[in-house]
Amino acid sequence: MPTTTASPWLERWLPLLRERAGSSPILELGCGAGADTAPLTTAGLRVIGIDRCAGEIANARVAAPLTELYVQDIRANFPPAATQLGAVLASLSLHYFSWSETLTLIERIFATLRPGGILLCRVNSTNDHNYGASGYPPIEKNYYSVDGESKRFFDADTLCELFGSGWHILAMEEMIIDKYLKPKSVWELLVEKIDAEKQS
């Protein structure tokens, strides 16, 4: 069972997530069994969670019973309540897609955020050699077939390109995490939807 205590990666962002979300729910893409969902709700935040695995969603319903949860691919249309949001969370769920699909997904996240809204995410690094960044058949640049699953790996330039238009990068750090059996290299990224009115 997932714990309701936020892991260090999420805990430091909770005040900002609470501030930006306001009275709106947070959209969590790839919520899994609720490891992040549960501490978000414990912190008093409303969450709309999406995951393609019905078994994971069933576990998330136990971990965070008051959460609005959906079994679906995160590339599908977001639930109707996921509009004009202040925050979107995506931990290790945005790096499975072709470049064109990734661009489309980021555009849809952008559209669901209100100006000043934030996306907090973690994605595979090109240095994540323990989990597929080298030694596997390429599909596209930095996109490989890893044991039957497609995985994308990001470097700083690619992330700056992905979030170059309409976004402001507030924080971007490459780090090693201990979520799995072997050390995993990821990028942790916080980006803000630019408020065009404030810029003009």
Average pLDDT, the chain: 93
Domain with 44, as residue range(s), is 8-199
Is 3 within the bounds of a domain? no
Query: How does pLDDT run across 166-191, given as a tens digit for each residue?
Result: 999 999 999 999 888 899 999 999 99
Q: Tokens for 110?
A: 């952008």
CATH of the domain at 51: 3.40.50.150
DSSP string, 128-142: -GGGTSSSS-EEETT
d(CA 4, CA 27): 18
Pick out the chain residues at pLDDT < 50. Answer: 1-4
Is 101 within the bounds of a domain? yes
Is 106 within the bounds of a domain? yes
DSSP string, 99-112: HHHHHHHHHHHHHH
Query: How does pLDDT run across 39-62, given as a tens digit for each residue?
Result: 999 999 999 999 999 999 999 999
**Residue 39 near residue 104 (C-beta atoms within 8 A):** no
Q: What is the pTM of this model?
A: 0.94
Is 24 within the bounds of a domain? yes
How many domains does the chain contain in total? 1
Is 1 within the bounds of a domain? no
Is 2 within the bounds of a domain? no
Is 53 within the bounds of a domain? yes
d(CA 25, CA 40): 10
Is 54 within the bounds of a domain? yes
Q: What is the pLDDT of residue 199?
A: 64
